[in-house]
Chains A and B, each alone.
Chain A
Amino acid sequence: MEFETNSKDKERKKLEEIDPVVEAKNISVWYGEEKALENIGLKVPKNNVTAIIGPSGCGKSTFLRCINRMNDLIEGAKVEGKIVYKDKNLYDPDIDVASLRRKIGMVFQKPNPFPKSVYENIAYGPKIGGMNDKEELDEIVEESLKDAALWDEVKNRLHSPAMDLSGGQQQRLCIARALAVEPDVLLMDEPASALDPIAMSKIEDLIYDLKQDYTVIIVTHNMQQAARVSDYTAFLFMGKLIEHSPTEKLFENPDKKKTEDYITGRFG
């Protein structure tokens, strides 16, 4: 199978040479008795898109949810190991989870706008952060919507319900909402899997643009998508990290037999 990788920036540093913005060290996760992840170590380079691929149930989403500690919300989930971000272990007891999540934002599989207006959706994050200045909020809303390539489509209906937007627009709204609190890192959990091909390609273009300002980690089970949008790709299988390399290397010349089997469609 041929994969079309983004050839614009072929020259990539080797993973050993990069200075990671987020680094997972020996992350293991249990759901009750069941071990979902085992000793994951992963470096996420700054201003790049890192894709996490693997068959269903391999722990991709679980890993993603470790990075902004969304797993805390799942009853019976237990995380061991370290996630280092800005020289701090995110699992240290003195970490303020709420402010951590403002720095590491998240976009979910299914578009999940609040049942409020477009404007209120974007303003949600800044408002709970304590911002009340109307002009500043207006500015943030406009900026975020522009960054998410949605401004032209919604500028005349900022105060109509977000639920009236199409699925693709809703997902870009969710991205804009995540951007409104100015995160460093954006986690995306299969952000285009519930969308039609056109909406999907818009999201992919957007992800490509976002890496100018943000570090993006995207979970996907669509390998073509991973090849198209990402700079680095990690392959997870049965809760273990099998391979992590620059995207074109992983797809064209993988080191591990298992990776090759998966990307050529022999299993999964």
Chain B
Amino acid sequence: MGTYLDDDLSEIFTEFTLRKTPLYFSIILSLIGGFLLSTNFSLILFNLGILIFSSILIIMQIYRFIENKKIIFKQLIFGLIILMFLYIPLILPNQLSIPIDNIDAGIGKGFLLSLFLVLIGLFGVYINLSNLDKQNKKAKQASAYLYLSFAILTVLFVLFLIIGFIVYNGAGAITWEFITQDIQNMGASGGVFPAIIGTLLLGLGTALISVPLGVGTAIFLKEYAGSQSKLVRVIRTSINVLNATPSIVHGLFGLALFVPLFGVSLLTGSLVLGFLTLPIIIRSTEEALESVPKDIRDASFAMGATRWQTIRNAVLPPALPGIVTGAVLGLGRAFGETAPIMFTAVIFSGGGIPTSVFDSVNALSYHLLELTRLIGYKDVTQKAWGTALLLLLIVLAMNFLGIRIRKKYRT
């Protein structure tokens, strides 16, 4: 059965890949063209030429496959619209990229243009195939497949572009001194050691606050409260609201409520980040509890276990990997946040290593923000990229850890 489906799909896919090859070409070439645009303006002609050429090819292809020849007019009009839209990126202002002195300002524009062309290509594929839909049932399947593969390709493209960009620019800045030394001269020299420690401490504080509260709330919601009760609905709505609250609002809330009590400190920042990650932890814990079959609970109850014994001995052990994974991913989010801590926990430069929870700290995310503000006044560009890369590595490491834990317990 499975192989039959696979064969079927691959057959359709091959058939349509062959038919749509010109379209793929046009998109890929537009992409390359868009990139090259940043350095060589004349390439635009090449780019357009390819697009027109491939459009003609597509129209010819479709002409062969479609019995109803009237559709071809729609295709022609659509092709013209694509060409018209192509000129939009050309009139975009030149200064779309971040104004960092040693980066080619054109890259931002080239990137935007490429993205734009991919989107148009996507739309084109969709329109082409949805016209074919009326002729061919298999085309429906193939159009969905094509759409999905384009979506994922676009996402991967952007992701690798971002990561590649940061690694390319930041790798040079990361040295042993950068990791182990104090922040000096407002970040322009020295390292980011206090910021690394501060970020890790904030993560730890966040975990200490949000994990016990979040896991407890989730257990209450899933295991104790009836799913239909009003209380549960109110709590669940509140959690959703908490989740939808912009992180800067969390920051201002912390400033108004906790800063008067604990000052700008590690404790205040941990509290704010704790509340920020709470919904993530609650939700992932609920999902982990949900994944434990009802049979297991029944078995435990039937053995004469109380509700708490059942949760403690039968439900939590198999749910634990899911809970830990959720917590780790939630913390990954907390590491990257800037807005919630900028008024509540951090200072820029000269904070050093905190000696108590009432001390303020440095943090990589905030350090990065301040460094980018200093660009143009001080020579900090490379340090900024280095900080960004370091932060990215920490967050990626957290995510990787989460995946490892999940894998380890699954087997």
CB atoms of B298 and A70 under 8 A apart: yes
CB atoms of A102 and B304 under 8 A apart: yes
CB atoms of A99 and B301 under 8 A apart: no
Contact of B298 among A105, A112, A127, A128 (CB under 8 A): A112
B-side contacts of A127, CB under 8 Å: 313
CB atoms of B302 and A70 under 8 A apart: yes
CB atoms of A75 and B317 under 8 A apart: no
B318 interface residue, CB < 8 Å from A?
yes
CB atoms of A125 and B304 under 8 A apart: yes
B246 interface residue, CB < 8 Å from A?
no
CB atoms of B295 and A128 under 8 A apart: no
CB atoms of B302 and A101 under 8 A apart: yes
B296 interface residue, CB < 8 Å from A?
yes
- The CA of A112 and the CA of B298, in the complex, are separated in Å by 9
B-side contacts of A129, CB under 8 Å: 304
A-side contacts of B304, CB under 8 Å: 98-102, 125, 128-129, 181
A-side contacts of B299, CB under 8 Å: 108, 112-114, 174, 177
A-side contacts of B81, CB under 8 Å: none
A110 interface residue, CB < 8 Å from B?
yes
Residues 89-106 of chain A, each 1 if its beta carbon lies under 8 Å from chain B, else 0:
000000000111110011
Nearest-CB residue, chain A, relative to B228: A75
CB atoms of B295 and A108 under 8 A apart: yes
Give the A interface residue count (CB, 8 A): 27
A85 interface residue, CB < 8 Å from B?
no
CB atoms of A115 and B318 under 8 A apart: yes
CB atoms of A73 and B227 under 8 A apart: no
B169 interface residue, CB < 8 Å from A?
no
Residues 310-327 of chain B, each 1 if its beta carbon lies under 8 Å from chain A, else 0:
000110011000000000
CB atoms of A124 and B303 under 8 A apart: yes
CB atoms of A70 and B317 under 8 A apart: no
- The CA of A98 and the CA of B305, in the complex, are separated in Å by 6
A-side contacts of B372, CB under 8 Å: none
A-B contact pairs, 29 of them (CB 8 A): A68-B302, A70-B301, A73-B297, A73-B298, A75-B228, A98-B304, A98-B305, A101-B301, A101-B302, A102-B303, A106-B302, A108-B295, A108-B302, A112-B296, A114-B296, A114-B299, A115-B317, A115-B318, A124-B303, A125-B303, A128-B303, A128-B304, A128-B309, A128-B313, A129-B304, A174-B299, A178-B303, A181-B303, A181-B304
Residues of chain A having any CB pair with chain B under 8 Å? 68, 70, 73, 75, 98-102, 105-106, 108, 110, 112-116, 124-125, 127-129, 174, 177-178, 181
**9 closest Cβ pairs, A-B complex:** A102-B304, A112-B295, A106-B302, A101-B304, A125-B303, A112-B299, A98-B304, A128-B309, A128-B305
